[in-house]
Amino acid sequence: LRRRYGLWFRLRRLIIWLLGVYVAIPFLVKLCPAIQAKLVFLNFVRVPYFIDLKRPQDQGLNHTCNYYLQPEEDVTIGVWHTVPAALGKNARGKDQLWFEDALGSSHPVILYLHGNAGTRGGDHRVELYKVLSSLGYHVVTFDYRGWGDSIGSPSERGMTYDALHVFDWIKARSGDNPVYIWGHSLGTGVATNLVRRLCERETPPDALILESPFTNIREEARSHPFSIYRYFPGFDWFFLDPITTSGIKFANDENVKYISCSLLILHAEDDPVVPFHLGKKLYNIAATSRSFRDYKVQFVPFHTDLGYRHKYIYRSPELPRILREFLGVSEHEHHH
């Protein structure tokens, strides 16, 4: 009996302690909005951890060059540039200058903006670069300030500015080649911020591709599966207001009203991180927006049975056809 009572006592103590922590966390987040910002960015999560970002070839990216660019004083960002597979043989052993010049070869360029957590060397990201390279695209990707080996502190403004800097850097070298912007997950927020700015200054990209996008960060945080607090009284006040206080909006739903270029949205129905209905909602807003009057707006869903979830759309055998039809690039152009 005494043993049973001792066990029950310990269990009760544990339950009270867990309950205390559960109740304390909202107050902690409210008092210190920086915690919530860290949870949005997850830039401190470096997975895979032991890779050397200076050596993309270790990830099987044999025709990729690692650069460092400086968008602002005290900010340095690490960039990978993968050339189209057709240029792969020539790229071996070449230096940064050769890679920069290669942007002027007659191949389209994709600027890829990754989501939160991890680095430009994340497994699913690397697999997508390989697919895009095999289809004849240059892929330029980078780690925002505060991610990977990039120096600086993360903020929505800073991430957008880094993306703008890399876009301008590409445009200065790519001649008349099309430049497309591809954002994934949190990167869709950076992508629409960037493209809105580009359209406002009348230098829009040739197309925008959003993979697993949300409407805005508040709606995404409310629907996120890890939101164990979403039924907690005062959830918005405790959790969503601190995100806004930290200056984090990623308002895709607002931005699309100011974007004028073709838009393609890709979303898996079984996405456990950004619910499918948010991607669909964003498409409906864009499709009825006046700014897209003269442009293609397309939504491509991927059925639950395919199991592409949040980050495996690159596995789709349909992807080459979808991109070819949407971007209007013929097979001939890819392989010449």
Q: Which residues are catalytic?
A: 185, 271, 310
CA angle 316, 320, 323 (to 5 degrees): 110
Please state whether the peptide bond connecting residue 213 to the residue before it is cis, i.e. omega within 30 degrees of 0. no
Nearest to 313 by CA among 99, 91, 127: 127
The answer to whether residues 267 and 212 touch, using CB atoms and an 8 Å cutoff, is: yes
User: Quick one: 2 exposed, middle or buried, by C-beta within 10 A (0-12, 13-18, 19+)?
Assistant: exposed
Reading the block at residue 282, the tokens are 């964003």
Tokens 């907690």 sit on residue: 232
Name, in order, each residue with C-beta under 8 angstroms of 55's C-beta and a sequence gap of 6 or more: 66
Q: CA neighbours within 13 Å on the CB side: how many for 11? A: 6
The answer to whether residues 18 and 230 touch, using CB atoms and an 8 Å cutoff, is: no
The answer to whether residues 146 and 42 touch, using CB atoms and an 8 Å cutoff, is: no
Alpha carbons 184 and 201: distance in angstroms, whole number: 24
3-state SS, residue 149: coil
